[in-house]
Structure formats: C-alpha cells, structure tokens
Structure 1
Amino acid sequence: MTRLRFDDAAALDVLTRQGLTPDARPSSGQTVILRATANLIARRAAGVIGLDFADIDEDTALLVERCAGRVIGSGAVHMGDGEAATHSNIAEAKADRALSIFDVKTHVLSSGDRFDFEARRPACGSDTPQTVQES
C-alpha cells in the first residue's frame, strides 16, 4: 500500500467531504476521490473517447469501466458529441472571437445514469441519488 501525503487544504477538503481523514483506510472496492481535478481529466478523456467536451460538477464522478461510464454524486456530468456538427470555427482559433459549433448533441447525466462510449448513447439510471462515497 502506498501512503499518500495531503499537503494542501483543497486535498483535505475533498477527503473530509467524503467523511474520511488522511489516516483512514478505505475498504476494499471503496471509491475515494483524492483531488477535485475531475474537469481536467474529463476534458482529456473526452478527446480520447471521441466527445468534444465533458464537464463534471462538484461532488460528482463518472466511473468508467471498459466502454461505459456511470455517474455518481449529487451533480451532473455534461457531455458534448460533435460527430454530426455542420460548422465550427475552431480551426480559425482567433483570440478575439468566441467558439461557435452548430448541431452538437449535448447530454446531461445525473446520478445513476450511464453512458455507452462505443454507441455514443446515454441510458437512464435509478432515480435514487448515489453518493460519491459509494463502494
């Protein structure tokens, strides 16, 4: 087992909101969020799986296994699929002009909802919110 250091208040806050301390030993299979870097990871992952953008709300996670993901937490995961986009000015990349994209599918998934990355389709989950501390 690797012992992790928590040097900053933000890291301790993320851990504390899950009811844990730096000395806690998570149970086998328990999901523990260590950093609130979900959006940085989401943006990188979006490109890997062929989506144009992904954004994850605070206190929310997208658990990914194989070719599907499941949302847990109190917020939502926002995904944009531009596969059928008809126009984008992203190639022009001018600092003084905002991005425009036409005909993009947007998905907003809440706790329990799933997303199939191969089929590029969301699926309804349970109506009961699932917490980030879920194991």
Structure 2
Amino acid sequence: MKYLKSLTLLITIMLFACKAQQIKTTDLSSGEYNIISINNNDVSQHELTLKVNAEKNLITGYSGCNNYRFNYKESKKQLDLGFGVSSKMYCKDTQAIEDSFFEATSNVKAFKQSKTSLELLNSKGQVEVKAVKIN
C-alpha cells in the first residue's frame, strides 16, 4: 500500500512537471533576427532586423529607415504588439518598405517560432512578417 501511494505521488509530480514544461515552450523566446519577408514580399536586401527581449517583453529593430520598439504582451502563442514607436526620419528610397512593415505589424495576433525562424501571424494564421535567426 505504501508503495502504491509513493508511485501515485511520483506520477502526479511528473505530470505537473511535464505540463509546466509544455506551457513554457509556448513563450516567445529571446533572439535576434533578420526580416526576410513582409506579406510574402522579399525584403531581405534591405537588412531589416528584429530583436526579441523576452525578459522585458520588448521587440526592437531596424525597419528600413528608422529604429522601432514594441512592448508586447503574449500568452499561449497569442501576441499583442500594442502600439509601436519609432524614430522619425523620412527615407525616400525605403519609406514604402517601412510603411509595409508597420502595416503588417498592426495585424499581428500570433506567432510561430522555431530554432531558426520567427513568423508573426495575423488572426487568420497568415504570415505577416517572416524573420530568420542570426547565428
């Protein structure tokens, strides 16, 4: 009987430990990325960047002309970027790219992250922004 109680306790602890570990894997993880596409348009030649600081719930980077920042909220792969802020320079050659980036980020509701990439998704699960991790 004592053996059965110990076994039951051990199994219960293992189940809770596994559940806690599963929840943690859904969090947006810190990393540095190069943005390669916005709405399936290749922007890799413009060297746009995205850096996630998970400890501060902060996304920062370069959007083609200006630096930007989002203070995000997330839970279970749902992502709310809120309102972003950026510097205010006008760059004739890259303004359209930057405008498309901010329009895309305004539609972001979720994310999909792997060891090598980050996709920011809209409410339909379509990729708004795709980025690859910098080694």
TM over 0.5: no
Pairwise TM-score range, normalised by the shorter structure: under 0.3
Give the number of the structure whose alpha-carbon radius of gyration is greater. Answer: 2
TM-score (norm 2): 0.26
TM-score (norm 1): 0.26
Structure whose residues are more often strand by fraction:
2
Structure whose residues are more often helix by fraction:
2
